[in-house]
């Protein structure tokens, strides 16, 4: 198999895993009791990882669309037109599940929309204020 063949014919499942794997891991860490200690009220590392989720998706999009063969660029444009709105939509119920899990574990009440905003904001300026 030619190493450049992967760039000409990307695989949808593989690209979903590559691009959205990091945000999915952060959601899993927030939702599953025992793992959600990373989102404790005492500044767990999850709170530092969450604002990096959507910027990582944007970085993947920029790199994939601007690099490689023209055929792959067209495929990636369509891929991101479909998957970014899907990510933003699916992130809300996952944020709700994460905040409920964190609340049940630590008693830390966080509105689901605030967690969602952290997970989907490309520049969470308000997070650091």
**What pLDDT does 128 receive?**
55
* Helical spans, DSSP H, in the chain: 5-8, 12-31, 46-49, 53-66, 70-106, 112-120
| Average pLDDT per block of 10 residues along the chain, 129 residues long | 58 96 96 89 84 95 89 93 97 96 88 92 65
Q: Which residue has the tokens 């994460």?
A: 98
What does pTM read for this prediction?
Answer: 0.85
**What pLDDT does 40 receive?**
80
**What pLDDT does 41 receive?**
72
**What pLDDT does 68 receive?**
74
Question: Which residues, other chains included, contact 45 with Cβ-Cβ below 8 Å and sequence gap of 6+?
Answer: 38
Mapping DSSP to helix (H, G, I), strand (E, B) and coil, where does residue 48 land? Answer: helix
**What pLDDT does 126 receive?**
57
**What pLDDT does 2 receive?**
47
Cα gap 82→78, rounded to integer Å: 6
């Amino acid at each position: 198999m030619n190493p450049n063949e992967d760039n000409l014919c990307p695989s949808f499942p593989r690209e979903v895993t590559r691009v959205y794997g990091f945000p999915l891991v952060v959601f899993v860490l927030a939702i599953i009791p025992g793992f959600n200690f990373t989102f404790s009220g005492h500044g767990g590392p999850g709170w530092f990882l969450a604002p990096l989720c959507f910027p990582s998706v944007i970085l993947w999009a920029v790199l994939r669309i601007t690099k490689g063969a023209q055929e792959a660029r067209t495929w990636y444009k369509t891929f991101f037109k479909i998957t970014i709105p899907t990510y933003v939509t699916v992130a809300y119920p996952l944020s709700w599940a994460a905040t409920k899990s964190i609340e049940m574990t630590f008693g830390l009440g966080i509105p689901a929309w605030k967690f969602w905003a952290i997970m989907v904001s490309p520049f969470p300026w308000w997070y650091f204020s």
